[in-house]
Amino acid sequence: MSNVATSFGIEEALQELGIKETNHGTSTGSNWMPGENEIASYSPVDGDLIGKVTSTTKEEYEQVIATATEAFKTWRVMPAPQRGEIVRQFGEELRRLKEPLGKLVSYEMGKSYQEGLGEVQEMIDICDFAVGLSRQLHGLTMHSERPGHRMYEQYHPLGIVGIISAFNFPVAVWSWNTALAWICGDVCVWKPSEKAPLCGIACQKIAAKVFEDNNLPEGISCLINGDYKVGEYMTQDGRVPLISATGSTRMGKIVAKTVGERLGKSLLELGGNNAIIVTPDADIKMTVIGAVFGAVGTAGQRCTSTRRLIIHESIYDQVKNALVDAYGQLRIGNPLDENNHVGPLIDTDAVAMYNQALEKVVAEGGNIIVEGGVLEGEGYESGCYVKPAIAEANNSFEIVQHETFAPVLYLLKYSGDVVNAIDVQNGVAQGLSSAIMTNNLREAERFLSHAGSDCGIANVNIGTSGAEIGGAFGGEKETGGGRESGSDAWKVYMRRQTNTINYTTELPLAQGIKFDL
């Protein structure tokens, strides 16, 4: 372990979470399988090897699916409130292990320790939400047109839910899906990102203990590991009725096509190109705080990160100057040190994409006002630390139309009324998160109206990132249309059934059709 890891207690955190130098990567609960072809996990914080995970073989995958299928037969008939009790216990284990798991998230992914703890808190919150939901999986009752008949709707569990998660939220997004799927009576098979596999190992160990302590069968919580080929095992498998996939739009299109060809269900959470509109009636101080956190939080590696700032021409220079001053105060370094604001990108491939984006915006005619660049020297040995950059640009630039998963913020100027700004906001292929900064009620309501933001998330006087679990999370257009977490997102994990009961001695037909014998 490096001095960084030692000084911040990473070794102790790994021990508490049961992480070893080499870890079996396939699990049906307490049963771990040897796998093959090790995946090495290096920390972007200091470049050190944290541990290794073995990939899932095709034979092991088949064993996982067979075990999950059997477990579903038991799990689905357990009353939902009893399933809620299991999820409650899982949430309690997360509370007990919040600190070590938060440290692992920070060290393996590179986000700040506070954000790592926040991610585990999201897991705890969704467990609390799911426990309450376990007594509220409501259907509807309807009046029948036929005398002596009753109609109602109910929801049944789907079966196996396949979860493919991304590196930037290596534990929270899995829990959004899993907590709700478990409540609904489904069993889960999770393929975490190969860039953060140890977080998956830790979560599976925590869940497995809860299920084992309650004498529940193997297969309710399953883990597989590997590259995209292992993910394809699930996307192509008709025994997995729902695939929930988080990642790039490119990846999502492949998943949607593959799952759609077998008429399966997809829940897609894909790329974002999120903007904040800043009107003349905006509170500038609030705007700067929201924009800076949105742009540099998690080093710009959130799907809800702020990519574009659409500023009215009358206050453009004022906002620009305030942002430049704020960026001058950012501290970049070890994310486990809570004095720092910005940690590293996930790996050197991400650094290369960051550099390409800055080169591209200049080539297209943009003007960089806060210089970027890769940091070198003591504390930056991993090669993954970059400077958050700001560029003046145009929404029509090709690079602005695409999501760059890095701390690059584009400033765009608009004139006229807020309708023009909304047109710019909506003028990209993605539709995840959006925000407006204004104290003008009419502008705010127009932004939220049918003719306003076309995103799945639209905020007023807060930034684009930092969603709460109580609301459904997801976006439109090339963001995929999926909804996870709160509200009625639970319905995607269940199949709807309409029931009609005849409690008479007659058999009248619908629409008054006569069929006499």
CA torsion angle 146 143 492 63 (round to 10): -50
Tell me the CA distances in angstroms from 131 to 71, 96, 216, 329, one per residue in order.
20, 18, 18, 42
Instruction: For residue range 26-38, list pLDDT tens digits in order.
Output: 999 999 999 999 9
What number is the average pLDDT over the span 109-132?
97
Cβ density class 110-132: b for 16+ within 10 Å, e for less: bbbbebbbebbbbbbbbbebbbe
d(CA 255, CA 292): 33
Please give the span between the terminal C-alpha atoms of the chain, in angstroms, as a whole number.
84
* 5 pLDDT more than 90: no
Select from 189, 187, 182, 191 the least CA-distant residue to 246.
191
d(CA 281, CA 265): 44
* 102 pLDDT more than 90: yes
d(CA 405, CA 423): 23
Neighbouring CB atoms inside 10 A of 394's CB total 14
Select from 33, 183, 12, 190 the least CA-distant residue to 107.
12
* 1 pLDDT more than 80: no
Give the H or E element holding residue 155. strand 149-157
* 222 pLDDT more than 80: yes
Instruction: For residue range 227-261, list pLDDT tens digits in order.
Output: 999 999 999 999 999 999 999 999 999 999 999 99
34-39, long-range: CB < 8 A, 24+ apart: 35/60, 35/225, 37/226, 39/194, 39/197, 39/225, 39/226
**Percent of the chain residues past pLDDT 90, beyond the cut:** 97
What number is the average pLDDT over the span 421-434?
98
Position with higher pLDDT, 1 vs 279: 279
Instruction: For residue range 288-337, list pLDDT tens digits in order.
Output: 999 999 999 999 999 999 999 999 999 999 999 999 999 999 999 999 99
- Predicted confidence at residue 220, as pLDDT, reads 98
* 122 pLDDT more than 80: yes
- Predicted confidence at residue 46, as pLDDT, reads 97
d(CA 93, CA 203): 10
Residues classed as catalytic: 269, 303
Helix (H, G, I), strand (E, B) or coil at 491: helix
What number is the average pLDDT over the span 61-76?
98
Instruction: For residue range 130-186, list pLDDT tens digits in order.
Output: 999 999 999 999 999 999 999 999 999 999 999 999 999 999 999 999 999 999 999
- Predicted confidence at residue 487, as pLDDT, reads 96
Region of residue 417 (phi > 0: left; psi between -120 and 50: alpha; otherwise: beta): beta
Question: Which residues, in sequence order, are bridge partners of residue 32?
Answer: 27
What number is the average pLDDT over the span 179-198?
98
